[in-house]
Amino acid sequence: MNHTPPSPPPLPARLYESPPVIAGGMVLWVVIGALAFAFGAGELVWTAVAGLGVGLFGLTVFLAQRAAARRGDRSAQRGVDPH
């Protein structure tokens, strides 16, 4: 007997699209930073600031690559457009 496992369901669009996921991570860093600041955890505040900065950088790079792919630039990464 051939028992092929069923294919997993596709991801919801809100999880497939990168900008909302990146923005969600940035919001979490802001919340963590605010809580750390409120409770006096100074080192965690700077970790949250760094996490937010990395998120901003990543979102900027992603949006620049998506714009380049839409323009048809040869050096642009492919696969960054939503399906």
Q: Name the pTM for this structure.
A: 0.69
- CB–CB of 22/55 below 8 Å? yes
pLDDT in tens, the chain (83 residues): 678 888 888 877 776 778 888 889 999 999 999 999 999 988 999 999 999 999 999 999 888 888 888 888 887 776 655 55
User: In the chain, where are the structural domains located?
Assistant: 17-70
Alpha carbon 8 to chain centroid, angstroms: 22
What contacts 45, CB < 8 A, 6 or more positions away?
Answer: 33, 36, 37
